[in-house]
Copies of this chain bind each other. A is one copy, B any other.
Amino acid sequence: MKKKAAIGIDIGGTNIVIGFADIDGNTLDKVSFKTASYEKVEDFIVKVSQEINNMVLDNNDMYQIIGVGIGAPNGNYYKGTIEFAPNLPWKGTIYLAELIESKVNMPVVLTNDANAAAIGEMVYGGAKNMKDFLVITLGTGLGSGFVANGELIYGHDGFAGELGHIIATDNGRECGCGRKGCLETYVSATGIKRTVFEFMSDYNYKSDLRDMSFHEVNSKIIYEKALEGDEVCIRAFDYTANVLGRKLADAVAITSPEAIFIFGGLAKAGGLIIDATKKYMEESLLAIFKNKIKVLPSALDENNAAILGAAALAFQNFKE
């Protein structure tokens, strides 16, 4: 019998990656291209369908390919749409699953990128035997995927899991969503940068970052400087973990997960973010939840995680 495999697609603001993954979580082929090269969604559909059909031709002999899974910003699981994604060139509502399905001879399923990450963690990663957990993705923004009773919470409209848009501070920082004080304006690669610039105003600590512009600074530099002992950067990490820890305590009160997985660039800061978040979360938890909820880095290899999440979505939806 042929081994089962699926095609996973990760649509990001910068890159689009298409990968071929088997049911054991091995990523076999992978192609990637720039999102900005496909300003018209029609051109993107042609390109992505070609790549899918090529992968099918290349692997059809060896594998039973069950379908295509897609993780995309503002992706809607029920409708297979991408809706009003601010960081993609395609405006309005795009019926992406349907459009691709019409060009390739197999089923296509789509969800938002953080939900795909949660399914990837459940199928291939650290949540294999868990029925209740959540995944936080820290990138430009903060994404989340909640799993309860072994199933992803899509909500009645397919848009559940927007933990990045709960309010961390009333009348706080301006958010891209048009409101103020959303969690992701504090906790994300962008959020920690904003904190660094706030702290350069609040404190008089020397910092190499005082010689850099807002556009030059990024979370990787903040991490490196923190390791070198830069007090502004150390405090920015501590503050980020504090805000995240307190808001995770609220999320725990709602869904009581066994574990919280943290994924993305910032998660690589390890103790500075994971351990500190856990500490602040514990301080804020209701007594019945104390000392029993794990905060862990994602167990998926970051290079393939998005592809594996998307492929896992296909495996979950197309069992046969």
Contacts and interface: CB of A to CB of B under 8 A. Distances in A.
B162 A286 contact: yes
A251 B166 CA distance: 8
A287 interface: yes
A125 interface: no
Most buried by B among A146, A149, A249: A149
Interface string A41-69: 00000000000000000000000000000
B156 A254 contact: no
A120 to B, nearest CB: 19
Given A166-B253, A246-B167, A250-B250, A286 B179 contact: yes
Given A160-B148, A177-B287, A288-B83, A167 B131 contact: no
B156 A253 contact: no
Most buried by B among A133, A151, A154, A162: A162
A256 interface: yes
A155 B286 CA distance: 14
A284 interface: yes
